[in-house]
Amino acid sequence: MDQSPPHPETQHQSVTFAEGLTLDCGRHLASLTVAYRTYGTLNAARNNAILICHALTGDQYVAEPNPETGKPGWWDNLVGPGKPVDTENFFVICTNVLGGCMGTTGPRSPHEDHPERPWGTDFPPVTINDMVRAQKLFIGHLGIEKLFAVIGGSMGGMQTLAWAALYPQHVFAAIPVAAAYYHSAQNIAFHEIGRQAIAADPDFHGGQYWEHGVIPARGLAVARMTAHITYVSEEALSRKFGRKLQEAEGLSSLGERFEVESYLQYQGSSFVRRFDANSYLTITRAMDLFDLAAEHGGLLANAFKGTKTRFLLVSFSSDWLFPTAQSRAIARALNHVAANVSFVEIKSDKGHDAFLLDEPDFHRTLRGFLSGCAEHAGLK
């Protein structure tokens, strides 16, 4: 793969908190910048705000073109006027996560002790809870005491669960989608393959690749390709590609490839132009560390004792990365503490990525749940 240019510099809408943030690892960030986007209008009562939490490789551009790629917002089919998350009724917020590379403090940010260079691999380890605490600081900055809802898929679902556990009095409804309360050993293993691929790239330079004017494009692309396989189902890959070759003549040379190979190479090459390798290392480790039950004495139900938050849990039948069984386990824990919980498994053959795609049953379910919650919250 050809060496791609360094990650482009874009000025993102952001707020900086001079008080910084203390992390779970014990380190204190002297200053914290949170990059964000908002959609819709905050009402006078400030009670119609929905926070959307993005997944591993997502960003704050949930419902508008990404300024670096030009591609539509990653949940553009779900968020907007008249859509399931209706910006004519709700004030929608999305922040780039702590450790990210789209404007929020992370490995690409100036090192607090050496501002002439980025943090790089010196950036302290962060957790899902740290990400949520940074979001909470930002929500307070907006003058919002209680969120109407927190919604997120995949790693965003982990953040949603963390919000419900850390700040139950500040969340009216929580909607974790295609998520789990811990990262499985298999998922950690896939992440480790990606991290090792990045570290093995000669252009990684111990994480100080910017000093050489390069990025570890090959390693980061392999990491993305490996991860992407886990996001799709075997049925979806077979339907889209099967065993088709790019050239109809057959195996006339070793250089010819299956269409699925070309697809994965495209996924890898496009990813390296928009994502920072050190951020990838930081965020995947945060996902791996997530275990909500372990944080509460080994019993998941303890995380939700006394909660008044309303929950909607959504899984997809062909998702083998965060399978339905993990959502059912969360539902059982919530039932154990008599929480208000709804659970639905959406029939789909699209795998984990189904939460990002056009799934009418999912969209109808979400729209109906939000409408019901709005009535109970007095928004209608």
- CA dist., res. 4 & res. 2, Å (int): 6
Residue 369, amino acid: F
- CA dist., res. 81 & res. 78, Å (int): 10
Query: CA 188 → CA 147, 285, 289, distances in Å?
Result: 31, 8, 9
For 122, the 3-state DSSP assignment is helix
Residue 5: per-residue pLDDT: 44
Q: Which of 12, 318, 352, 353 is catalytic?
A: 352
Residue 141 falls in the annotated catalytic set: no
Residue 24 falls in the annotated catalytic set: no
Residue 142: per-residue pLDDT: 98
Q: What does the block give as tokens for 17? A: 């908190």
- CA dist., res. 280 & res. 285, Å (int): 8
What's the pTM?
0.93
Residue 55: per-residue pLDDT: 97
Q: Which of 276, 288, 319, 353 is catalytic?
A: 319
Q: Give me the chain's average pLDDT, please.
A: 92
Please give the full DSSP string across 141-197, using - where no structure is assigned: HTT-SSEEEEEEETHHHHHHHHHHHH-GGGEEEEEEES--SB--HHHHHHHHHHHHH
**325: buried, middle or exposed (CB in 10 Å: 19+, 13-18, 0-12)?**
exposed
Question: Within the chain, where are the H helices?
Answer: 128-141, 155-166, 185-200, 217-231, 234-240, 259-272, 277-289, 324-336, 360-376
Q: What does the block give as tokens for 251? A: 């195996």
Report pLDDT digits (tens) over 316-343. 999 999 999 999 999 999 999 999 999 9
Report pLDDT digits (tens) over 89-114. 999 999 999 999 999 999 999 999 99
Q: Which of 12, 54, 130, 154 is catalytic?
A: 154
- CA dist., res. 344 & res. 314, Å (int): 5
User: What is the Cβ-side half-sphere exposure of residue 265, based on CA atoms within 13 angstroms?
Assistant: 8
DSSP label at residue 43: -
Residue 8: per-residue pLDDT: 54
* Pairing of β 91-95 and β 32-39: antiparallel
Residue 4: per-residue pLDDT: 44
Report pLDDT digits (tens) over 173-203. 999 999 999 999 999 999 999 999 999 999 9
Contact between 6 and 210 under an 8 Å Cβ cutoff? The reply is yes
Residue 236: per-residue pLDDT: 72
Percent of the chain beyond pLDDT 70? 93
Residue 352 falls in the annotated catalytic set: yes
Q: Report residues of the chain scoring pLDDT below 70.
A: 1-9, 240-256, 260
Domains for the chain: give ranges and CATH numbers. 14-184+292-376 (3.40.50.1820), 187-285 (1.10.1740.110)
Residue 230, amino acid: T
